[in-house]
Amino acid sequence: MELPYLGVGLSYRWDLNPHLARGNPGVDWLEVTPEHFLPLTDDAERRLDVLAKRYPLVGHSLELSVGSDGVDAPGYRDGLRRIVSRTKSVWHGDHLCFTRVGPLPLRALTPVPLTDEAVETCVRNARAVRADLGVPFVLENIAYLFHTDLDTLDEADFIRRVVEGADCGLLLDLHNVYCNAVNHGYDAYRFLDRLPLDRVVQIHLAGGVTAEGLRLDSHSAPSPEEVWQLLEYVVPRCPVRGVNFEMDSGFPPFVRLVEELARARAILQRHGASKA
């Protein structure tokens, strides 16, 4: 997958607007959530255009639901297609999960049963998304608090079979790996070793909280040291094209976010990631 190197960026949130409106030299690119701009009204188009003038944009949707049978909400995929085109997104991402059962939206990233049948469904849907959107598609490993007893495959094997079968990229969320490793009692490094790291296009950094013995991917804090260590481990092992920090609440002073990006940039540069 020949893709440009974007560097380090942020997930765009409205709260960050005052710091991004004129461009910011500490932020190389922005990940945008298409659902925040749908329906794509004239005003939504204008807001996207303003961002696109200042930063490379990459889409990261929530509702493609590659683990589901059935169809999208009416007009959804057409809206995505228009956003990908308008933002000149060089790739597009969504989650390896399901968010819909038939026409019923779940409003949550729900883990797919790890079965041969689900591999086939995800591969079929991911291939269709790539064809529909006309850009490379990347799938993100989610954080999950449960799995069902339907599972017949191991999580790393499942991810590998889907991304290789669909010929798509991997959006590796390191805080999700860390949360799952803590909550389900496995070694995050051995897990990473078993993923198709040669397909990593993008990496998510994030932070969360620990509550009632569970590590939660709440996007409400800077990345913990464990996530930085995972980034140090994985960057020399993958051809990453873009890293971005996700935050939804508890925003610190913006300079603190820029420091977070600078730390990620230094790791990428130290390992020559831009030349991978």
Asked if residue 74 has a cis previous peptide bond (ω within 30° of 0), the answer is no
Q: Which of 204, 215, 241, 271 binds Fe ion (CB under 5 A)?
A: 204
Beta strands in the chain (DSSP E): 7-11, 29-32, 57-60, 92-95, 98-101, 104-110, 137-140, 169-173, 200-205, 209-211, 214-216, 242-245
The single-letter code of the amino acid at 19 is H
CB-wise, 7 or 208, nearer to Fe ion? 208
| Closest CB to Fe ion among residues 2, 92 | 92
Among 63-71, 181-189, 199-207, 220-228, the segment contacting Fe ion (CB under 5 A): 199-207
- Beta carbons of 124 and 78 less than 8 angstroms apart: no
Residue with tokens 């397909």: 199
Nearer to Fe ion, 28 or 173 (CB): 173
Cβ proximity of 44 and 76 under 8 Å: no
**Interaction with Fe ion in 128-187: which residues (CB under 5 A)?**
173
Rg of the chain in Å (alpha carbons) = 18
Binding residues for Fe ion, how many (CB under 5 A)? 2
Nearer to Fe ion, 94 or 173 (CB): 173
Cβ at position 117, least distance to Fe ion in Å: 26
**Residue nearer to Fe ion on the CB measure, 173 or 260:** 173
Shortest Å distance, C-beta 49 to Fe ion: 26
To Fe ion, the closest distance from the beta carbon of 140 in angstroms equals: 5
**Binding span for Fe ion by CB under 5 A among 84-92, 183-191, 200-208, 248-256:** 200-208
Q: Smallest gap, in angstroms, from Cβ of residue 202 to Fe ion?
A: 9
For the CB of residue 62, give the shortest distance to Fe ion in the complex, in Å.
Answer: 11
Nearer to Fe ion, 125 or 223 (CB): 223
Closest to Fe ion by CB, 19 or 204: 204
- Main-chain phi, psi angles of 30, to 5 degrees: -130, 140
Amino acid identity, position 138: V
CB of residue 242 vs Fe ion: minimum separation in angstroms? 13
Between CA 100 and CA 112 the distance in angstroms is 11
Return the DSSP state at 224.
P
Beta strands, E only, 132-272: 137-140, 169-173, 200-205, 209-211, 214-216, 242-245
- Least gap, CB of 180 to Fe ion (angstroms): 12
In the complex, the residues that contact Fe ion under the rule CB under 5 A are 173, 204
